[in-house]
Amino acid sequence: MKILRDDELLKITFDEEKKMIWTEWKPESFKAVLSKEEIKQINKQIADFIIEYDADYYLADQRKRGVVYTIDIQEYIAKVLVDAVGQANVKKTAIVMPADYIVRLSNEQTINEIDSEYDYDYFNDFDKAWKYLFDE
Protein backbone atom coordinates (compact mmCIF):
# COMPACT_ATOMS: atom_id res chain seq x y z
CA MET A 1 0.00 0.00 0.00
CA LYS A 2 1.19 3.45 -0.90
CA ILE A 3 0.26 6.20 1.57
CA LEU A 4 -0.88 9.30 -0.32
CA ARG A 5 -1.99 11.35 2.68
CA ASP A 6 -1.89 10.71 6.41
CA ASP A 7 -2.70 13.53 8.82
CA GLU A 8 -4.96 14.20 11.80
CA LEU A 9 -8.11 14.12 9.64
CA LEU A 10 -7.70 11.56 6.92
CA LYS A 11 -5.61 8.74 5.60
CA ILE A 12 -5.62 8.07 1.85
CA THR A 13 -3.87 5.02 0.48
CA PHE A 14 -3.50 3.33 -2.87
CA ASP A 15 -3.42 -0.44 -2.95
CA GLU A 16 -1.37 -1.25 -6.04
CA GLU A 17 -2.42 -4.90 -6.13
CA LYS A 18 -6.16 -4.19 -6.02
CA LYS A 19 -5.90 -0.81 -7.81
CA MET A 20 -7.96 0.72 -5.01
CA ILE A 21 -8.05 4.19 -3.49
CA TRP A 22 -8.99 3.85 0.18
CA THR A 23 -9.95 6.85 2.27
CA GLU A 24 -10.26 6.54 6.02
CA TRP A 25 -11.41 9.43 8.20
CA LYS A 26 -9.91 9.65 11.68
CA PRO A 27 -11.65 10.33 15.02
CA GLU A 28 -9.87 13.69 15.29
CA SER A 29 -12.11 14.93 12.46
CA PHE A 30 -14.87 15.34 15.07
CA LYS A 31 -12.84 18.16 16.64
CA ALA A 32 -11.96 19.78 13.33
CA VAL A 33 -13.46 23.07 12.27
CA LEU A 34 -13.06 23.11 8.50
CA SER A 35 -14.14 25.79 6.10
CA LYS A 36 -16.21 24.87 3.08
CA GLU A 37 -13.14 25.50 0.96
CA GLU A 38 -11.05 23.06 3.04
CA ILE A 39 -13.72 20.37 2.72
CA LYS A 40 -13.84 20.94 -1.03
CA GLN A 41 -10.03 20.72 -1.25
CA ILE A 42 -9.99 17.41 0.62
CA ASN A 43 -12.60 15.89 -1.66
CA LYS A 44 -10.93 17.31 -4.76
CA GLN A 45 -7.69 15.69 -3.61
CA ILE A 46 -9.47 12.35 -3.29
CA ALA A 47 -10.94 12.77 -6.77
CA ASP A 48 -7.53 13.70 -8.18
CA PHE A 49 -5.96 10.58 -6.65
CA ILE A 50 -8.72 8.39 -8.12
CA ILE A 51 -7.87 9.78 -11.56
CA GLU A 52 -4.08 9.92 -11.13
CA TYR A 53 -3.82 6.30 -9.97
CA ASP A 54 -6.46 5.10 -12.42
CA ALA A 55 -8.25 3.28 -9.61
CA ASP A 56 -10.47 0.31 -10.34
CA TYR A 57 -12.04 0.51 -6.87
CA TYR A 58 -12.78 3.25 -4.37
CA LEU A 59 -13.42 2.47 -0.70
CA ALA A 60 -14.58 5.44 1.38
CA ASP A 61 -14.44 4.44 5.05
CA GLN A 62 -16.36 7.22 6.77
CA ARG A 63 -17.20 5.47 10.04
CA LYS A 64 -15.11 7.97 12.02
CA ARG A 65 -15.83 11.06 9.94
CA GLY A 66 -16.92 13.98 12.10
CA VAL A 67 -17.14 16.64 9.40
CA VAL A 68 -20.72 17.54 8.47
CA TYR A 69 -21.38 18.39 4.82
CA THR A 70 -23.74 21.28 4.11
CA ILE A 71 -26.06 21.06 1.10
CA ASP A 72 -23.79 23.05 -1.23
CA ILE A 73 -20.81 20.91 -0.18
CA GLN A 74 -22.87 17.75 -0.75
CA GLU A 75 -23.57 18.83 -4.32
CA TYR A 76 -19.91 19.65 -4.93
CA ILE A 77 -18.69 16.32 -3.51
CA ALA A 78 -21.22 14.33 -5.50
CA LYS A 79 -20.16 16.04 -8.73
CA VAL A 80 -16.38 15.93 -8.23
CA LEU A 81 -16.31 12.30 -7.10
CA VAL A 82 -18.72 11.07 -9.78
CA ASP A 83 -16.61 12.85 -12.41
CA ALA A 84 -13.43 11.22 -11.05
CA VAL A 85 -15.03 7.77 -10.94
CA GLY A 86 -16.08 8.24 -14.55
CA GLN A 87 -12.69 9.45 -15.75
CA ALA A 88 -10.89 6.55 -14.06
CA ASN A 89 -13.55 4.00 -15.08
CA VAL A 90 -13.83 2.81 -11.48
CA LYS A 91 -15.53 -0.59 -11.41
CA LYS A 92 -17.08 -0.28 -7.94
CA THR A 93 -17.31 2.23 -5.12
CA ALA A 94 -18.16 1.25 -1.54
CA ILE A 95 -19.01 3.84 1.10
CA VAL A 96 -18.94 2.78 4.75
CA MET A 97 -21.34 5.09 6.52
CA PRO A 98 -20.48 7.32 9.50
CA ALA A 99 -21.71 6.26 12.93
CA ASP A 100 -22.66 9.79 14.07
CA TYR A 101 -26.32 10.51 13.24
CA ILE A 102 -25.89 14.07 11.93
CA VAL A 103 -22.78 13.20 9.91
CA ARG A 104 -24.55 10.12 8.60
CA LEU A 105 -27.54 12.21 7.53
CA SER A 106 -25.28 14.58 5.60
CA ASN A 107 -23.65 11.53 3.99
CA GLU A 108 -27.02 10.11 2.93
CA GLN A 109 -27.98 13.46 1.44
CA THR A 110 -24.68 13.56 -0.46
CA ILE A 111 -25.32 10.07 -1.81
CA ASN A 112 -28.80 11.16 -2.88
CA GLU A 113 -27.15 13.91 -4.94
CA ILE A 114 -25.30 11.31 -6.97
CA ASP A 115 -26.91 10.72 -10.32
CA SER A 116 -24.63 8.10 -11.73
CA GLU A 117 -24.64 5.00 -13.84
CA TYR A 118 -21.50 3.81 -12.00
CA ASP A 119 -21.59 0.87 -9.61
CA TYR A 120 -21.60 2.10 -6.01
CA ASP A 121 -23.27 1.16 -2.77
CA TYR A 122 -23.11 2.16 0.87
CA PHE A 123 -22.83 0.00 3.95
CA ASN A 124 -23.03 0.06 7.73
CA ASP A 125 -20.45 -2.72 7.99
CA PHE A 126 -16.88 -2.53 6.70
CA ASP A 127 -16.65 -6.27 5.94
CA LYS A 128 -19.77 -6.13 3.78
CA ALA A 129 -18.31 -3.19 1.86
CA TRP A 130 -15.09 -5.15 1.28
CA LYS A 131 -17.02 -8.20 0.07
CA TYR A 132 -19.06 -6.01 -2.27
CA LEU A 133 -15.86 -4.72 -3.85
CA PHE A 134 -13.88 -7.93 -4.11
CA ASP A 135 -16.09 -11.01 -3.84
CA GLU A 136 -17.45 -11.91 -7.20
Domain extents for the chain?
2-134
pLDDT for residue 23 is more than 90: yes
pLDDT of residue 24: 97
pLDDT in tens, 28-83: 888 888 999 999 999 999 999 999 999 999 999 999 988 888 888 888 988 898 89
Which whole number is the average pLDDT over 15-36?
93
Q: What is the mean pLDDT of the chain?
A: 86
List, in sequence order, the alpha helices (H) in the chain. Answer: 36-52, 71-88, 101-113, 126-134
Domain 2-134 carries which CATH code?
Answer: 3.30.750
With bands split at pLDDT 50, 70 and 90, how would you rate the model's confidence at 97? Answer: confident
Is-contact 91 21, C-beta < 8 A?
A: no
Cα(69)–Cα(80) distance, integer angstroms: 14
Residues paired with 123 in a beta bridge? 96
pLDDT of residue 50: 98
